[in-house]
Amino acid sequence: MDSELSVVLVIRLLFFNFLLLWQLGNGAKVNNGTTNIKANGDNTTIGALTDAEARTLRLLFKSLQSRNTTQFPLSYPICSTNMDAEIRCSCDNTKNRSACWVTAINLASKMLDGLIHSSISLFKNLRVLDLSSNFLTGSIPPSLTTLQSLRILNLADNNLDGTIPLNLSGLQSLRYLDLSRNKLTGPIPDSISDCQYLNIIILRLNFLNGTIPEALGTLSSLNILDLYSNSLSGHIPVELGELTVLQFLNLDDNNLDGELPEELGNLVDLQHLYLTANKFTGRIPETFDKLIHLETFAVGGNYLSGQMPSYIGNWVNLTKLILIGNNFEGNLPAETFSLPKLQRLLVSDVSNPGISFPKREVIPESLIYLVLRNCKINGSIPEYIGKWPELSYLDLSFNNLSGGVPESFQKLNKLFLTSNELTKLPSWITKKPKPSSYPKADLSYNNFNVKCTNEKCSGLAAVNILPTRSFIDNMKTEKCYRKHNSLFINCGGEELNVGKDHYHNDTSTSSFNLSPSDDWAYSFSGDYLWATVNASTLGEDHSITGKRVFDVYIQGRLVKKDLNIKEIPELQNEVRKLKFPAKINEGSLEIKLFWAGKGSLYNPPGINGPLIEAISVTRVSRKLHRWEIALITIGCLLFLMLLLAFSLRMGWIGGRKLRSGH
């Protein structure tokens, strides 16, 4: 009997070991650390999970990773009352060996690449679920919305797709919701308004569409609403003006339109307002004068018009003022340059009478970035700008500035003065010191008296002084001595042949490049305002949410305003194409791609959608006007009549009898 019992025990032990190894091989840990709960600060067992929660925890571990990955590391013990535990539990201490339950799951940045199993809804006491910064796929299980105790839900930085569950009313205790940087589509559910305790909503960098729910205006505790970079459309609901404790509102990079609601002026606690890269029209409301706590006011890349409000000069807490890429008119309030905390001031495309610098010397204490592009600025550049203590980035391109470049600009890190009427270079360039002793400068398309030889041009191009207008004229008259019927350029690519067409190499990364064949060249000016942002942190898949918008000029004439490549109709089995007719003037063709401040402002250039793949210039037969066709027809008829008369006269046509009658 004893021997039989021993055999049974051995078999059971072997079976248990096999089961244990099988569970481990499938990504779950099954040991006392799973079900037994350790006290905070020691190794004493104070309770155990219920069987239901223990099974659910094992199933969760298994589903969160695919079969191709190894087991993710977890601290021991797995379930603990420690506040820093990855799986945190609570226990009923009224009994010895009391029952316990899972209250927090913190598995951020664990390289998880599986799914979120629907059984997660069985953790009825779960307060925190953080699975952010992993590689999870699939959809958000609707059953998750039944977790009535859940306060923090963070699924950001994954590859989740599908829609946000429509019924969020079960999340009655939710305070924090972050679903950003996924692939979620569809609308924002109206039921989000049932989560009345929400303080923070972050849904940025998804593919959400539809309109912004009016019901969001009922979330009276909301402090942060971040919907940046989606595909939301329609107007801003006036109900958002009821979020009186809101401090951060980001609606950047959507497809929103209409006028800015006056009701947003009721958000008196608002500190950051981002509305760039949309399609807003009209004026900035006068009610915004109450937003005295603003630190960021960003409305760039829209179609706003009218005067820039005078009350901007009263926003003494302002650090960023971004008005670039609109249709404003007139001057900036003089007080703007004296705002004590202002670090970034970006304005462009201002109509008459344009912007002028203060006549009296002003010294902004904190200004780092100053961009005033295409603002109708006339006259010379004030020398005092170079004395501003923190200024490192200055862009005054596309104005009517004349005279010389101030000597004091040598201390800047970046300087852009392209397309003005400047005539005098500073001594720190003309004396030819080492390039490291002066800023990265783009002074191209001015009237500097620079005699251009191949050797000198290449040197000056390296410091972005060229091309000058004289060089462009020189190239038109002297370089393009060969006549061509066509030109094909493989933008950003190597030389190649496509059928009978030979595409030129375009792999140079310099700001100015003359082709080896001397028959075409390119130049670019300017800089990326936020190029330091790491594209990899945002993900390449989000490139389709960014907007690359620019104007196209051919031979100095605007032929396409606000071109967005991804909005070009795409025919089946064909790439997107745009065709423009052009007349060749004196043997030269000039194409300009001009960024007027529209589209995405903050993204690195690589994630703003598709680029131009190729440029082809081909000769086509000109269509004749009606009067030309009529004139040619009449000429042909007259010619035929004359030919017939001459033939009759010479006797080349007609019968013998007719000729003998004469």
Please give the structure tokens belonging to residue 221.
Answer: 């505790």
Distance of CA 109 to the CA centre of its chain: 25
Query: Across the chain, what does the average pLDDT equal?
Result: 82
One-letter amino acid of 571: L
Tokens of 270: 């608002």
**pLDDT at residue number 45:** 60
> 103 with 90: CB under 8 angstroms?
yes
Distance of alpha carbon 127 from alpha carbon 104, whole angstroms: 6
Pair of tokens at residue 574: 């064909």
Q: What is the CB neighbour count within 10 angstroms for residue 606?
A: 13
Q: Lowest-confidence range among 104-108, 138-142, 221-225, 330-334?
A: 330-334
What pLDDT band is residue 597 in, cutting at 50, 70 and 90?
confident
For the cut 70, the answer to whether the pLDDT of residue 451 exceeds it is no
The DSSP letter of residue 379 is: E
DSSP class of 344? E
541 has a pLDDT exceeding 70: no
pLDDT classification of 182: cutoffs 50, 70, 90: very high
Residue 8's pLDDT band, with cuts at 50, 70 and 90, is very low
Q: For position 7, what pLDDT does the model report?
A: 33
CA-atom Rg of the chain in angstroms: 35
Per the model's pLDDT, the better-predicted residue between 67 and 540 turns out to be 67
Give me the pLDDT at residue 633, please: 87
What pLDDT does residue 482 have?
A: 61
Mean pLDDT, residues 461-475: 55
The residue among 281, 290, 282 whose CA lies nearest residue 273 is: 290
Q: For residue 134, what pLDDT is reported?
A: 94
Q: Which amino acid is at 622?
A: R
167 contacts 191 by C-beta, under 8 angstroms: yes
- 549-554 and 512-514 strand pairing: unpaired
pLDDT band of residue 575 (cuts 50, 70, 90) is: confident
The distance from CA 494 to its chain's CA centroid, rounded to whole angstroms, is: 27
Q: Please give the Cα distance from 284 to 478 (Å, whole number).
A: 51
Strand partners, 98: 47
336 falls in which pLDDT band (50, 70, 90)?
Answer: very high
pLDDT in tens, 482-527: 667 788 999 888 999 998 889 999 888 877 778 887 778 887 777 7
End-to-end, the C-alpha distance of the chain in Å comes to: 149
| 616, burial (CB in 10 Å: exposed 0-12, middle 13-18, buried 19+) | middle
Q: How far apart are CA 643 and CA 120, in angstroms?
A: 96
What is the arithmetic mean of pLDDT over 632-636? Answer: 86
* 556 contacts 584 by C-beta, under 8 angstroms: no
Q: What is the mean pLDDT of residues 7-33?
A: 35
Please identify which residue in the block is written with the tokens 């010397």: 361
Given CA atoms 25, 30, 33, 34 in this order, what sign does their dihedral have? positive
* Band of pLDDT at residue 604, cut at 50, 70 and 90: low
Distance CA 344, CA 390 (A): 11
221-234 exposure pattern, b = at least 16 Cβ within 10 A, e = fewer: ebbbbbbbbbebee
Q: Give the pLDDT band (50/70/90) at residue 605.
A: low
**263-275 per-position pLDDT tens digit:** 999 999 999 999 9
The average pLDDT across 326-333 equals 92
SS3 123: coil
Which is more confidently placed, 474 or 373? Answer: 373
At 27 the pLDDT is: 35
Percentage of residues of the chain with pLDDT beyond 70: 79
Tell me what the mean pLDDT of segment 295-321 comes to: 95
Question: What pLDDT shows up at residue 125?
Answer: 93
At residue 476, the pLDDT reads 61
Residue 626: CB atoms within 10 A of its CB come to: 7
The pLDDT tens digits of the residues spanning 116-134 come to 999 999 999 999 999 999 9
Residue bearing the bigger pLDDT, 132 or 657:
132
pLDDT at 191 over 70: yes
Per-residue pLDDT, averaged over 164-185, amounts to: 94
* H runs (alpha helix) in 415-521: 427-430, 454-462, 469-474
**CB-CB contact of 269 with 290 (8 Å):** no
At residue 93, the pLDDT reads: 66
Q: What separation in angstroms does the CA of 165 have from each of 161, 189, 203, 276?
A: 11, 8, 13, 28
Q: Determine what percent of the chain is predicted with pLDDT higher than 90.
A: 47
pLDDT at position 512: 75
Please state the φ and ψ torsions of residue 6, each to the nearest 5 degrees: -65, -40
Least confident of 11-20, 94-103, 170-179, 547-556: 11-20
Identify the top-confidence range among 333-342, 530-539, 543-552, 598-607: 333-342
| Stretch among 382-386, 538-542, 570-574, 597-601 having the lowest mean pLDDT | 538-542
For position 70, what pLDDT does the model report?
A: 58
Q: 138 near 160, Cβ under 8 Å?
A: yes
User: Is residue 18 pLDDT above 50, yes or no?
Assistant: no
Lowest-confidence range among 321-325, 341-345, 639-643? 639-643
**pLDDT higher than 80, residue 144:** yes
User: Residue 447's closest CA among 490, 480, 508, 400?
Assistant: 400
Q: What is the mean pLDDT of residues 149-155?
A: 97
DSSP 126-178: --EEE--SS---S---GGGGG-TT--EEE--SS---SB--S--TT-TT--EEE
pTM for the complete prediction?
0.83
pLDDT at 465: 59
Question: Looking at residues 353-377, what average pLDDT do you find?
Answer: 91
Q: Which of 54, 32, 57, 53 is nearest to 43 (CA)?
A: 32
pLDDT at 214 over 90: yes
**Confidence bin at 612 (pLDDT 50/70/90):** confident
Q: CB within 8 A of 439, min separation 6: which ones?
A: 409, 410, 411, 412, 413, 414, 415
- Please report where in the chains the tokens 């300017």 appear, as a residue: 526
Are 452 and 470 in contact, with CB atoms under 8 Å apart? yes
pLDDT higher than 90, residue 29: no
Distance CA 3, CA 8 (A): 9
346's CB contacts (< 8 A; 6+ apart) are 300, 321, 322, 323, 324, 369, 371, 529
